[in-house]
Amino acid sequence: MIKIENYTNCIYSITFKNSNKIYIGKANSSLQRWGAHIQALISNKHENKIVKSIYKEHGLECFIFSIIKHGLKEEELYKEELLEIAKQPKENICNRSCIFRNSYAIVDYDK
């Protein structure tokens, strides 16, 4: 059994073996968020079409969950998430509705 450490107020990434795609998110609890991703994928209820498609084609074993930053203040999470998204080549981002302007990303989760 692999022990995974829980991080609070963190920015995380999900990358995929044999792919340049990356999903970046924020969480108050990394273990709870990763578990929510897994549960949504298994039940075919994940909201992200790209992530869901990768899961259907390659399975969970191709997913790599990593912590980018942790111990942030609650009010810093959204900004830090956007900054991490903006660092990535836009063609690699799996996050929904990312609009890149002057190397900043605007993420609209409601679309």
Residues 9-44 pLDDT 10s: 999 999 999 899 999 999 999 999 999 999 999 999
φ and ψ at 75, to 5 degrees?
A: -70, -10
What does the pLDDT read at residue 1?
47
Predicted model pTM: 0.84
Tell me which residue of 85, 48, 59, 64 sits closest to 16, measured CA to CA. Answer: 64
Q: Which residue has the tokens 């080549």?
A: 89
Residue 106 scores a pLDDT above 80? no
Residue 94 near residue 101 (C-beta atoms within 8 A): no
Average pLDDT over every residue of 55-71: 95
